[in-house]
Amino acid sequence: MVDISYEPLKRIIVREIVKYETAQQLVNAFTFVMKMGQPVLLTWADGVVFAAQAIPPPEMAEEYARGELYMASVSCAPMSDYSSTVKSGNVEMPVIDTSRSPVSKQLAKFLRSKMEEKTSP
């Protein structure tokens, strides 16, 4: 018999959070990246739309083996209700509903708390 176990992430380390006031502003920020041919994946959970740029696990193999995932940057904006796309001007970006993922829900809650914080001048 094969032993199968489930070992969820224990920790996500976010190095940078880029906050936008609207989902449309978030799309505008990634328009140039898309025009250069780079894919952008927007995800949504619990009132937050975000794009996370994880540091690939092979580059941090020991950390990943310990259950740690490093995010180089997470860009986010409030979006109360899920929509399968966000449109800004003539750019339309798909959004994946990840609200069934416990990790995505926790990340969304964390990001929402950071968006609510006042930024000092």
Buried b (16+ CB within 10 A) or exposed e, 59-73: ebeeebeeeebbbee
Please compute the mean of the pLDDT values over residues 101-113 and round it to a whole number.
Answer: 96
**What is the reported pLDDT for 38?**
82
Average confidence score pLDDT of the chain: 92
Percent of the chain exceeding pLDDT 70 equals 97
- Partnered with residue 96 across adjacent β-strands are 43
**What is the reported pLDDT for 37?**
80
**What is the reported pLDDT for 119?**
60
What is the rounded (10 degree) CA torsion for 84, 103, 54, 17? 80
Q: How many helices (H) and strands (E) does the chain have?
A: 3, 7
Q: Provide the whole-model pTM.
A: 0.86
Q: What is the pLDDT of residues 16-59, one digit of tens each?
A: 999 999 999 999 999 888 778 888 889 999 999 999 998 988 88
Q: What is the pLDDT of residues 92-103, one digit of tens each?
A: 999 999 999 999
How many C-beta neighbours within 10 Å does residue 108 have? 22
HSE-up of 63 (CA within 13 Å, CB side)? 14
